Amino acid sequence: MCRDNNKDGGIKIVEVSIVLPAYNEAARIESTVERTAAALREITPSFELIIAEDGSKDGTDKICEALAKKYDFIVHLHSDERQGRGRALNRAFKSSKGEILGYIDVDLATDMKHLSELIQYIRDGCDFATGSRMLPDSNVKRPFKRGFASKGFNFLTRSMLGSKLYDHQCGFKSFRREPLFKLLDDVKDTHWFWDTELFVRAQRAGFKVREFPVDWKHGGATKVNLMRDVFGMGSQIFRLWYEFLWD
């Protein structure tokens, strides 16, 4: 069962909708919401925060319910069973009201000073924008083995799928509403490869995509299983390559 908990059942158009994908994030979801809202208030008076809470078992849903009752800019989307990160994001964007859409990882690994930049690129005419940990001006602190795996994944994505991006997996992305919705139903992955597939398809469709350097530090515990999920994402690269081969 899925449900949508927000204060106002009416339709309210906003400039910016930011999604926070959350799975078992009871320890930090409230702090993340407060910090994200504070950053957004400096950027726009018209925003909503959508918590895409995906089958949590640690009480995250109760915290999110309380936050949605406390703040009229929060929408809580709950699923009783885990859908997968991509499916949760897809659902959240389809329920959003903003013209500029985006999502950020709950661990706030990307420095929030970049949030205004993330939104401004879309205001200035980009269709898709993403923070990058792989550009020369990026400032990154992460475990070696995760950095090595990420570089391998991004190399395969560039070489096999023709992407021009250097970092496809940074959880700090924004979109203009119309281009995003033209591609949402074409994205087949429902978990960690979702945003990679979206940005590869965006480039192939000719949309204006911007990648920019960010300050990023490892946010502690991660929901990514290095062996299982990296193998799974690798198989998705081959799946998409095969699809494009027959286009």
Active site (catalytic) residues: 195
Contact 4, 76 (CB under 8 A): yes
160/125 Cα distance (integer angstroms) = 28
**Residue 219, CB half-sphere, CA atoms under 13 Å: how many?**
19
